[in-house]
């Protein structure tokens, strides 16, 4: 397994932990950097620095842009508010939307494929299809917006 996938899985586990502790589905750690370091020191003692740095980047990015990310998800998920999604699915989607919107060096199809693989491992029987459908719509909307900007 690649370091980036391990980073995504670690980020998902961290976001799951803080999301499940919140009452409204909006993870709000007191100090995301410190909380993430504590999480990793307990759960990932042997992880390498590169993997932890990318996982930390993903977690910080999601938490710092949560309102924007959830707005994107709410706009693209018909009949599914973010708060109604399973904790696993919504955090896989949050991580993926962050990558798609803010990390331009990662191709959108790679992000979608990685999200599907993580959903197969951590989600329910329907998670992979659910995640794929929403991310595909978001990816197409982003491509359309880029084409419109080029005009």
CA 119 centroid distance within chain: 11
How confident is the model over 110-139, as pLDDT tens digits? 999 999 999 999 999 999 999 999 999 999
Q: Please name which of 140, 150, 4, 147 lies closest in space to residue 72, comparing C-alpha atoms.
A: 140
Reduce the DSSP state of residue 35 to 3 states and report it. Answer: helix
% the chain with pLDDT above 70: 81
- Indicate whether 108 pLDDT > 80: yes
Average pLDDT over residues 24-49: 64
Q: Which helix (H) or strand (E) holds 54?
A: helix 49-64
| Per-residue pLDDT tens digits for 42-86 | 656 666 788 888 998 999 999 999 999 999 999 988 788 898 899
Q: Which of 69, 54, 66 is nearest to 11 (CA)?
A: 54
Domains of the chain plus CATH, in order, are 3-150 (1.10.940.10)
């Amino acid at each position: 397994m690649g370091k980036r996938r391990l980073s995504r899985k670690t980020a998902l586990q961290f976001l799951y932990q803080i999301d499940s502790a919140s009452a409204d589905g909006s993870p709000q750690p007191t100090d995301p950097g410190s909380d993430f370091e504590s999480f990793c020191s307990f759960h990932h003692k042997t992880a390498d620095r590169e993997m932890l740095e990318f996982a930390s980047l993903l977690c910080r990015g999601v938490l710092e842009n949560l309102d924007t990310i959830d707005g994107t998800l709410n706009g693209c998920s018909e009949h599914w508010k973010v708060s109604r999604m399973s904790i696993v699915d919504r955090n896989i989607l949050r991580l993926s939307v962050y990558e798609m919107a803010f990390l331009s060096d990662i191709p959108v199809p790679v992000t979608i494929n990685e999200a599907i693989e993580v959903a197969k491992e951590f989600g329910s029987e329907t998670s992979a299809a659910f995640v794929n459908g929403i991310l595909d719509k978001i990816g197409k909307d982003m491509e359309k917006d880029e084409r419109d900007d080029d005009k």
